[in-house]
Chains A and B, each alone.
Chain A
Amino acid sequence: MSEPTTWALRVAAVSKTFRPFRWPWQANAPVQDGVRHDTAEGRSGPVCALDKVSLQVRRGEIFGVLGPNGSGKSTLIRVIATLVLPDSGSVEVLGLDLARHELEIRRLINRVSVEASFFKKLSPLENLLFGARLYGLPANRARQEALGILRRLGLREASLWQPMEQMSRGMQQKVAIARALLTAPVLLLLDEPTTGLDPRSKREVQGLVEALRRDHHATVILTTHDMLEADALCDRVAIIDAGRIVAEGTPAELKQRVASTTGGSPPTLEDVFLALTGHSLQSADEAASEDAVESSDVVLAP
């Protein structure tokens, strides 16, 4: 029996494998005349993005999902956001099953991704009004609330009507969070919202995430590979590596688990990651980058 008043999100044994598309004639012809006839798609095999991932998030919590690039964080967010269909497992948002109540769940959630998903030629206000209409807000109310939120975020009056492309990335990311706030989501999915931002913009966005919980009582799922950020913002965190959740708990609990391995110095979440996965976050990121380069390095037939 689900407890919608307690759990904002329940993910149970969700798996997802991406298989590259192959034409029927590609499947059985990898070698011809001693030469590999590969394409970029044909060479890479299936990729297991999520492997029986389970987690539960309480209402009002900021829950961090930590992992290196390619660990499955964004796929998990996309599954919850109804953008990727899982192969197996189930997802419940406030007691609603994702497979059966997709549209209802879309009304309860919003997502801020690592790339600012805007029409860059449109102004922040125009982008926000578009989003507000999609979520059923009447135009006048949407306009008033959008203006209010954007001003609270510190946007100069003139920039409200200027194309988004003239704004810094940090400011664009704040507008993205404003757009999400406008729809008053019960569950907010923040997919690496501070990646690539300068330190000042990063701090501003982090402050905004803290204000989200304080002022809007939203439940937040925050994916990041910034361990300090997770430590500062999250009530609980799950560490994901190669599509699997390898640990889950409060930052303090996780650090406690590896305290004996740090030789007396206070453990960090980076130490937790190293102890539980056997490799550092940085090296995992580098390995993911190398994989990406290799997969584009194809051998062509003469």
Chain B
Amino acid sequence: MWSWRHETRAAYAFVERNVHLVKRYWGWEVVWLIYSIANALSVTFIGAGMERISGQRVDTQHLILYLLTGTLVWGYLSVVFTLVSETIQWERWEGTIEYTLMAPISRFTHLVGTTLFSLLYGFLQTAVILAAVAACFHLDLSGANLLGAAGVLLAASLSFSALGMVGAVLPLLYPEKGVQVVQVIQSLLLVISGVYYPVDVLPRALCWLSQFSPATYVLQGMRAALLDGAPLRQLWPCILALLLLGMLLMPLGVWLFGKAERYARRTGRLKRDG
């Protein structure tokens, strides 16, 4: 009898397979981690240099932590979003897409498996970057609510994964250019979510749009937890907003993916190209 146990096993298959792939590509993983740390450092050094840039006194530690939070959240979002949304492109490149899509599992299970791995990977990478940058700048995180920050990031995972599923639709529909469009979506999120600045400095239209981006709430929550050490009860509004967005986006992502897969099967676009 086919059961939830089979589906769980199948979801775990994607986690296990991707862990094996990470082990095989370990050299590239190290390169990617160095790039991510360098990227985070280059942004946070803006905070370190702000007094010299502006000629004014600023709270450098606060600014560094503000920018670091942005770069951590952006890094996490990028990893989750990219891993989920590029799962189709990756499998198409490897030539395994048809094998995976004809497996006797629900598409929800497939996407959940891919998402679970991306969350684990994203969390691990974010923790390593935080540790590296904190060590570099001798940041004092004793007053930060690290557990609360992790909780906010966890709550955001649902909606980030759902956004990834929406993004995964594009390479399915447009094998050649779909991934580039995903990057465009990612950059739009970067602009409207206040990754490196408060959203109220944005023009009114963009500021209005920012309320629909899960990244806006995760940044608010993370900054409150890391910069002000806000306790959990103060973080709840952000966590609730993130969970609500996640609950709306997740069914939408799965539904859209199902529709796109059907279109791809009707038009013969699953076939490997290149």
Contact = CB atoms under 8 A, between A and B. Distances in A.
Contact of B96 (A83, A111, A117, A126): A117
B13 interface: yes
A120 B96 CA distance: 10
Given A83-B270, A129-B16, A134 B265 contact: no
A131 B104 contact: no
B203 interface: no
Contacts of A267: none
B102 interface: yes
Nearest to B15: A133
Nearest to A109: B102
A107 interface: yes
A95 interface: no
Nearest to B268: A18
Interface in A64-119: 75, 78, 81-85, 103-104, 106-107, 109, 111, 113, 115-119
Interface in B69-118: 94-96, 98-106
Q: For this complex, into which size category does the number of interface residues on chain A fall?
A: 35 or more
Contacts, number: 92
Contact of A136 (B2, B20, B267): B2
B196 interface: no
Given A83-B270, A84-B265, A122-B21, A136 B9 contact: yes
A133 B10 CA distance: 5
B95 A116 contact: yes
Contact of B95 (A19, A106, A117): A117
B215 to A, nearest CB: 31
Interface string A133-161: 11111110000000000000000000000
Contacts of A118: 94-96
B259 interface: no
Interface string B230-274: 000000000000000000000000000000001001111011100
A121 interface: yes
A117 B102 CA distance: 12
A134 B105 contact: yes
A116 B99 CA distance: 10
B267 A21 contact: yes
Given A117-B96, A136-B6, A83 B101 contact: yes
B102 A121 contact: no
A119 B96 contact: yes
Contacts of B103: 106, 131, 134-135
A19 B12 CA distance: 38
Contact of B102 (A106, A130, A133, A137): A106
A111 to B, nearest CB: 7
Contacts of B100: 134
A189 B98 CA distance: 13
A106 B21 contact: no
B89 to A, nearest CB: 14
A4 interface: no
A42 interface: no
Nearest to A107: B104
A289 B270 CA distance: 22
A135 B17 contact: no
A175 B24 CA distance: 19
Nearest to A126: B20
Contacts of B102: 81-83, 106, 109, 111
A120 B262 CA distance: 27
Given A83-B98, A106-B104, A119-B94, A133 B270 contact: no
Contacts of A85: 262, 265-266
A83 B104 contact: no
Given A85-B266, A136-B6, A122 B24 contact: yes
A129 B19 CA distance: 13
A106 B103 CA distance: 6
Given A21-B267, A84-B268, A134 B95 contact: no
A106 B100 CA distance: 11
Given A135-B103, A136-B104, A119 B10 contact: no
Nearest to B109: A134
Contacts of B104: 103-104, 106-107, 134-136
Nearest to A138: B9
A207 to B, nearest CB: 24
The 6 closest A-B pairs by CB, nearest first: A133-B13, A136-B6, A106-B104, A134-B103, A121-B24, A107-B104
20 contacts: A78-B268, A78-B271, A83-B101, A83-B270, A84-B266, A85-B262, A103-B104, A107-B104, A111-B98, A111-B102, A113-B98, A117-B95, A118-B94, A118-B96, A122-B21, A130-B13, A133-B12, A134-B13, A136-B2, A138-B9
